[in-house]
Each structure stands twice: as C-alpha cells, then as structure tokens.
A and B are shown apart, each in its own frame.
Chain A
Amino acid sequence: EAQVTQNPRYLITVTGKKLTVTCSQNMNHEYMSWYRQDPGLGLRQIYYSMNVEVTDKGDVPEGYKVSRKEKRNFPLILESPSPNQTSLYFCASSLGLAEETQYFGPGTRLLVL
C-alpha cells in the first residue's frame, strides 16, 4: 500500500531534549516536505526537499533541521525543543511536478513541556 509513515505519532518531551521525528514514503517520490499545524494558523511549511541531498527552508524553519540522505526518508530534527514547538506535524511527499498530488502522513502530535 502506498503510504507516508511517521513515527512517533505522539510524543511528550521536555525543553532542550533533542528529538527526531521520522518520515518514510514507499512511493519513490522525489519531493518531501514537513509542515506544522497550529490552531488558527493552518498548515505552515517548515522544510522541503526536492531530491536526495537537496533541502531548503520553508516558511517557519527556525529551531528545526532536516536531512535527506536517501530518497524514502526525511527526518525532522529538533536539536533543542522549546514549548513553542508544541504542535501537530505532518510529513508529505510527491513526485514533485505540478500535475502530481501531495500525499500526507498521519501526523505527529508533539508536546514540549
């Protein structure tokens, strides 16, 4: 089954404790992206990757890192999480062309205390 998976689905952590949220897709998609969703602010793009080893900042990249060492995986790294990073996070992938849709993962709900 074609899908985007994220782990963990729920995470409670404390300020400053490094964490990684994994994202994996099995559709051989070139393009992958991370979004965060907060009440009243909709979905905002954090980082995106056009291909392996190619990443770029979205609209809200501060406090986040990403890597794209292989096509299927695009982990989101919070080196020193802060409470303002408490949010719902979504990973997405697509072939990267205008005619292609984005497929979204199920989301990761993060709480930083």
Chain B
Amino acid sequence: DAKTTQPPSMDCAEGRAANLPCNHSTISGNEYVYWYRQIHSQGPQYIIHGLKNNETNEMASLIITEDRKSSTLILPHATLRDTAVYYCIVSAYNFNKFYFGSGTKLNVKP
C-alpha cells in the first residue's frame, strides 16, 4: 500500500495561496490521491481527490505530477478558518486501506 510524506507544519498569511505538498512515490496505477482536513478534533472533512489529472472544486485545486509520485493541494485564498491538519491519502477503491498518516498542520496567520 502506498504511503505518503507530508511536512509536519506550514504557515500561510491570510489571503495568500497555501500550497501543501505531498510525496507518494510508491503509488500504484489504480490508487487515487485524496485530501481531507481536520479542524481541531472534529471529524475529517473531504476536500478533493484525483487520479491523474489536475482537479479543481470550490474549496481547492489538486495538482498531480505527471509521474504521479507527488501532488500539491492549493487553497487559493487562505482564511483563518482554513487553519487545520491536512491529510494526503492514497488509496485504491473501496477504502479498505485508507491511511491518514500524520498530515500537515497549516497555520493561517492574520
């Protein structure tokens, strides 16, 4: 099963873009890249996911490298409410191996 590597923490100024990196060098061809976040001790919240192509939704953009060994989550205009732990996860279908890892603590500062 693929594992991910993320920096333990990052800072971002409010209103600026937050770029959160993730390495997943052992990802398999059928595994997706998912991003979730957890605010304080609330239940994790889905952000975005992708397989090969870059993806964008109302919350964020996901950039996946061509070799799929790494990805970047982009929050285009970070706010104080985006302060959270962000998890990058790779998993094949059915979620029976869904490893959250340690995540990146994003601190958005005024």
Task: List residues of A whose CB falls within 8 A of some B CB.
Answer: 4, 31, 33, 35, 37, 40, 42-45, 48, 50, 56, 58, 88, 90, 92, 94, 96-99, 101-107, 109
Once the chains bind, are B49 and A101 in contact (CB under 8 Å)?
A: yes
Interface residue range, chain B: 20 to 34
- Given A42-B103, A98-B32, A98-B93, A107:B98 Cβ within 8 A: no
User: Within the complex, which residue of B41, B42, B93, B101 is in contact with A42, where a contact is CB–CB below 8 Å?
Assistant: B101
Once the chains bind, are A97 and B94 in contact (CB under 8 Å)?
A: yes
Given A101-B49, A106-B43, also A33-B100 (CB < 8 A)? no
A107 engages B41 (CB within 8 Å) = yes
Inter-chain contacts of A106 with B (CB < 8 A)? 42-43
B residues contacting A by CB (< 8 A) are 30, 32, 34, 36, 41-46, 49, 87, 91-98, 100-103
B interface, over-half SS: loop
Q: Is the CB of A98 within 8 A of B92?
A: yes
Contact sample, A vs B, 17 pairs, CB 8 Å cutoff: A35-B100, A42-B101, A42-B102, A42-B103, A43-B87, A45-B98, A48-B95, A50-B96, A56-B96, A90-B44, A96-B95, A101-B46, A102-B36, A102-B44, A102-B98, A105-B43, A107-B42
Q: Closest Cβ of chain B: how far from A91's Cβ, in Å?
A: 8
- Chain B residue nearest in CB terms to A44: B100
Q: Is the CB of A43 within 8 A of B94?
A: no
- Give CA–CA (A42, B101) in the complex, Å: 6
Q: CB distance B94 to A50 under 8 Å?
A: yes
Q: How far is the CA of A93 from the CA of B81 in the complex (A)?
A: 25
